[in-house]
Amino acid sequence: MTLFQYEVLATDTATSARRGSFTTAHGTIQTPLFMPVGTRATVKGVTTPQLADIGAQVLLANTYHLFLRPGSDVVRDAGGLHRFMNWERPILTDSGGFQIFSLADTLKLSDDGVKFRSIVDGTWHFWSPEDNMRVQEELGADIIMQLDQCPPYPAERDFVATAVRRSAEWAARCRDAASRPDQALFGIVQGGVFEDLRLESAERLALLDLPGYGIGGYSVGEPHDLMLESLGPVCQAMPANKPRYLMGVGNPTTMLQAIALGVDMFDCVLPTRTARLGTAFSSEGRLNMRNARHTRDFGPLDPDCSCQVCAEYSRAYIRHLVTTKEMLGSILLSVHNLHFLLDLTTKARAAIEEDRYGAFLSDWLSSAAAADY
C-alpha cells in the first residue's frame, strides 16, 4: 500500500467526472465522496458506529475548535483523534483558517501568521503556519489542511490577491514544517470569484507537489452559478493525479454539478444542521417535518431510501418527535440526511464507472428534487 496515492479508476466521456481512490494510513477512500463534519470531534447526535453503518468513509474535525477545547495536547495524550472519537477509518482536519477569518473583527493578520481571540474565553492566540502544523500533528488526522487566508464575499480584488499570495507562501511553510509521514497535507486554492486569481493560486500550489488540494473560499455567500463558472477551469488547472476537495459544499445539486467538473471530495454541515431544524432530504426534495400534512403519513421519509430510519420509522412519528422537540427527531433526521448524501455519491461513482454520469446528472437536474435544493 503506497500512502497518499491517488488513482483514477474510471472517467465519464460526457463530463469531466472521475472515479478514483486515495490511500491513507487508515484505509483507501473511494471518490467522489461526501465527508460528514464532526467539528468538535463529533457529528452532532450520531455515533461513530452509526456513521460506519451508513457508509461514511472519512470524518472531519476542526483544528480551531479542538485547539480551544479540549486542547490538542489532550487529544494527543488520548492517542489521537481516532482513539478519542472511536473511529478507525480516515479523518480529515481543517486548519481552522475559515473559522478564524470568519471572525474578522477579532484577529490581527500579517505575513507571519494570524493572532485571534478565543470564542470560548476571549484569550488571544497566535498561529503561524508552523504552529498550525504542530496542532494538527497532535490531533493526528490522516489528511491535514494548510493554514490559509480565506477572503469573504464580496471582497476587493487587491484584498483577494493578497490572500492568494499569502496562502501560497503559507502552504510552502506548512509543507516544510509538516513532519509526520502518516499525514497527507493538502493545499487550498483561494481567489474568490476572480477566475484569474483562482488559476494563479492553483498553479502556485501545484508547484509544491502536495498529496492533494482543497478548493476553499466558495460557499461564503456568492451565488452558486458564479462559483460553478470558475470551478471547471480551476479543476482543469489542478494536478490530474491528485484529489480535488471542494470545501464546505453539501447541497446535493451543487455536489453533482461539481462532480461533473472534476471534483472528488466534499464536506458540509448542511445535512445535520437542516436535520436539527426539522428538515429531511428526499428524492422529492426537502421535507419540512413540521408540516401538518405529515401528521397521519405512516410511510417512510423517502420510499426510495434504504437507510434504517426509512425502514423503521414513519413520517408521522418523526413529525411527532420534531414538533414535541424530542432529541430523537434530530438524531433520526441526521442519520437519514447523511445517508442520503452518502448514497448519492455512491450512485455517482457507479454512474461514472458505467460511463453514464452525464445522463445521471441530467436526470437529477430534471427531477422535482433538484429544484428544491
Q: pLDDT for 117-161, tens place per residue?
A: 999 999 999 999 999 999 999 999 999 999 999 999 999 999 999
Cell of 30: 473511494
End-to-end CA distance of the chain: give it in Å, rounded: 39
Helix (H) or strand (E) holding 88: none
**3 φ, ψ (degrees, to nearest 5):** -65, 140
Which residue among 94, 142, 148, 302 is the active-site one?
94
CATH number of 6-95+134-268: 3.20.20.105
Gap between the Cα atoms of 76 and 84, Å rounded: 9
Q: Please indicate whether residue 267 is annotated as part of the active site.
A: yes
Helix (H), strand (E) at residue 321: helix 315-323
Catalytic annotation on 77?
A: no
Catalytic residue among 12, 264, 267, 343: 267
Spatial separation of the C-alpha atoms in residues 21 and 29, rounded to whole Å: 6
pLDDT at 257: 97
Spell out the domain ranges in the chain: 6-95+134-268, 270-373
Overall average pLDDT of the 31-51 stretch: 98
Digit-coded pLDDT (tens) for 178-189: 999 999 999 999
Alpha carbon distance 260, 357 (integer Å): 8
How far is Cα 169 from Cα 7, in angstroms, rounded to an integer?
28
**pTM flag (> 0.95):** yes
> Closest Cα partner for 141 from 24, 40, 22?
24
Answer whether residue 222 shows pLDDT above 90: no
Residue 295 has pLDDT above 90, yes or no: yes
At 1, is the pLDDT very low, low, confident or very high (cuts 50, 70, 90)?
low
What whole-number percentage of the chain has pLDDT above 90?
Answer: 92
